Amino acid sequence: MGSNHNRLRAAELRKLIEHHNYRYYVLDSPEISDAEYDELFDELMRLEKEHPELVTPDSPTQRIGAPPLAKFPSHKHSIPMMSLNKVTTRDEFLEFDKRVRGLIGGEGGPIEYTIEPKYDGLAVALIYRNGVFETAATRGDGVTGEEVKENLKTIKNIPLRLIGKNPPELLEVRGEVIIAKADFEKFNKQRSEAGLELFANPRNMAAGSLRQLDSGITAQRPLRFIGYGIGETKGIPLDGHFETMNLVRRFGIPISSYLKKFTNTDDLIAYYERILGERDSFDFDIDGIVIKVNSYEQQAIAGVLSRSPRWAVAWKFPAVQKTTIVEKIEVQVGRTGTLTPVAHLKPVQVGGVTVSRSTLHNEQEIERKDIRVGDTVVVQRAGDVIPEIVTVIVEKRPSGTRKFAMPEKCPVCGSAVQRVEGEVAVRCVSLYCKAQLVEKIFHFASRGAMDIEGLGYKTVEALIEKGFVKDVADLYLLPTRKTEILEMERMGEKSFNNLVASLERSKKRELPRLIFALGILGVGETTANLLAQHFGTLERLMKAGEEEFSQARGIGPVIARSVYRFFSDKNNLAVIRKLEKLGVEFQEGEHPSEGPLKGKTFVLTGTLEAYTRTQAQKIIEQLGGHVTSSVSKKTDFVVAGADPGSKLDKARTLGVKVLDENGFTKLVGRQ
């Protein structure tokens, strides 16, 4: 009797909680207070804790996150998730309308359009089978995405079971994962108080949260979902987009309350202008509207292009612009050594946000726009996020202004800056530069480099702040500072001993990893391998001339000059000698293999199932081939995994042979 009562009560509570979730998140019309909702949820939690056999996969309590994944499985979309073409003006929209009417002609009756906001988030697909949430995936490249089921389950306004007595056999709902402006500001404030790095904008935060391998982290983020379309379905009527999305809403899945249907283009344009006028009052970031032909029959007649439908378009909002004055131009040094000029502006409200600073990107950009201190400038929020100086109002320029010039020395450490031919960036490459020290040390200790465990960002920052580390070589002096380091936060005896052991192990890394660890401009893991193979020892590398670097296989003139300049800097050489004195062994590199892939050039793109990128590269190099980062006519093979990106498109354009994972495995003899 008791067991049956508990089972019925648990089912009743689940149904009540999902009902109130629907009222709160979808209808925005709650029937009970937050306290009453919490009582229902707590009762269900207690009941399931006391009787674990009552827990179901679709229970509202199962949103706390699953054990961390090693990687995301790939998910092939049954119907591609296409991107949208865009228009930016009234005339461009009317031209789109004219094309649509020409494609459809008189077929299917008069044309109706739907209009809804274009939310700035991350596109995903939710799949329900017989009313139960089955899986979810990111858009990826439109054909293949990543399965993120456990992460999506943590989002409270996504129902784990559809509302209603007769759910469809299959329903795929596509939409955007977003974060409300207020939630974003609150979350960033909490991170600031905790001394953590801030997110740049809600979209970046949403994307980063959804791609956490640990869904427990995702569960802590204030994510929401807004549906905007469907994919594959079975068991529901399919007349038009407007009708289908309202049916989706009745199933308990949130959609935009701004979704409207129009037969008159003048009314549609007036509604666009209304949303444009209200954009700053929206709870979420929006960067335009999406217009679709409503009828599915007419959509089919209009057809699709290779990557976008002919029956839909995104009408992007114009950037909000204001004028203000440049009060100062300051040069900042980033963590990777790049010098970036930043304009300090007289504060001005742009699109509901106070703007007082704007990146000027580089010297070339400032020269092109001729931006000077004292100038009156036009500012806009590019992409509704990054403040950008669009132009200078030269007529208002005060007399006596001077053209800006980048400094010849680093404003932080005083080292001579480096200008790489063919690049616009100006960089400080000194290993002693404090502005980039955290990033240099973090890179030096990373897994592909010296692989020193126990050196997270917070730890590195604390070590630098206390003066324990002034360059990468100082890491090997940390074992002598045990008493002082044990007084640091989050550093106990066990953590310290593990760090010391990891430092000791790192003294015997292979030469390519040491070269990569030094953080030489333009030298990634592949180039580090090529340098180690060509020179054999670090001593030879340090004494080589610029011309000798150019003679190494796979090393172009730009990288050759960068490596030569790095080893010509007396500060860098001093740090290397210090590493040597502290016991770091500069082992000899391996010479290139004479294997069956000798002379073959590979490019890796996307995610492979059976290999990490590093493992695949090592296999290729052991067989005599080499890996580069970009596709050209000289590329022999492109190995394409899940989410391959633009490199695959370029390979096809150039006629380069493309291998999937099975083809790669056969080529390297692993099958």
Tallying the residues shown for the chain, one arrives at 671
Instruction: Check the CA dihedral 49-51-53-59 and report its sign.
Output: negative
Asked if residue 204 belongs to a domain, the reply is yes
Among the ranges given (185-189, 226-230, 431-435), the one the predictor scored with the smallest mean pLDDT? 431-435
Do 125 and 251 belong together in one domain?
yes
Query: 260, 293, 316: which is the final residue of a domain?
Result: 316
Yes or no: say if 145 and 77 are a contact pair by the CB < 8 Å rule: yes
Q: Is residue 442 part of a domain?
A: no
Centroid of chain to Cα 188: 17
What the block records as the tokens of 108 is 């299917």
* Residue 456 counted as domain residue: yes
Pair (284, 309) in one structural domain: yes
Question: Comparing C-alpha atoms, which of 480, 430, 440, 434 is closest to residue 583?
Answer: 480
Q: 100 and 19: one domain?
A: no
Residue range of the domain that includes 463 = 452-506
Helix (H, G, I), strand (E, B) or coil at 28: coil
Per-residue model confidence (pLDDT) at position 210:
86
Please tell me the distance from the alpha carbon of residue 518 to that of residue 429, in angstroms, as a whole number.
Answer: 10
* CA angle centred on 147, ends 144 and 152, rounded to 5°: 130
Are 217 and 360 in the same domain? no
Closest CA to 381 of 392, 372, 390, 391: 390
- Which tens digits make up the pLDDT trace of 86-132? 898 999 999 999 999 998 886 656 899 999 999 988 899 999 999 99
Shared domain for 176 and 138, answered yes or no, is: yes
From 295, 316, 337, the end of a domain falls on: 316
pLDDT band at 63 (very low <50, low <70, confident <90, very high): low
**pLDDT tens string 485-526:** 888 877 888 889 989 999 999 999 889 889 999 988 778 887
Mark whether 486 and 520 lie in a shared domain: no
Q: Where a domain ends, among 506, 538, 568?
A: 506
**Is pLDDT of 234 > 80?**
yes
What CATH number has the domain bearing residue 327? Answer: 2.40.50.140
pLDDT digits over 163-188, tens only? 888 899 999 999 999 999 888 888 87
- State whether 27 and 167 are in the same domain: no
In a shared domain, residues 131 and 277: yes
Same domain for 633 and 493, yes or no, is: no
Given the structure tokens 């009314």, which residue do they identify?
Answer: 267
293 has pLDDT over 90? yes
The verdict on residue 59 lying in a domain is no
Residue 431 maps to a domain:
no
Dihedral over Cα of 448, 450, 453, 455: its sign: negative
Residue 217 and residue 100 share a domain: yes
> What integer pLDDT is reported at residue 193 of this predicted model?
66
Average pLDDT over all residues of the chain: 85
**Rounded Cα gap, residues 191 and 185, in angstroms:** 10
- Which residues are known catalytic residues? 118
Pair (386, 251) in one structural domain? no
Alpha helices by DSSP H, listed for 552-629, are 557-568, 570-581, 613-622
Q: What is the pLDDT of residue 1?
A: 47
Instruction: Characterize the bridge pairing of strands 286-293 and 312-316.
Output: antiparallel
pLDDT-based confidence at residue 384 (cuts at 50, 70, 90): very low
With respect to residue 590, please indicate whether it lies within any of the assigned structural domains: no
Assess if residue 70 is contained within a domain: no
Instruction: For residue 181, give both structure tokens.
Output: 């402006």
Q: What is the predicted pLDDT for the residue at 312? A: 95
Name the CA radius of gyration of the chain, rounded.
Answer: 29
Which of 409, 440, 411, 415 is CA-nearest to residue 430? Answer: 415
Residue 43's pLDDT is: 83
Which CATH number does the domain housing residue 10 bear? 1.10.287.610
* 286 and 340 fall within a common domain: no
Instruction: Give per-residue pLDDT as tens, 321-355.
Output: 789 999 999 998 876 788 889 999 999 877 656 78
| CATH code, domain with 563 | 1.10.150.20
- Residue 277, in any domain of the structure: yes
**Over 60: is that where the pLDDT of 257 sits?**
yes
d(CA 44, CA 137): 29
Structurally, how many domains does the chain consist of?
6
Give the type of residue at 536. G
Q: Which of 439, 402, 435, 405 is nearest to 419 (CA)?
A: 405
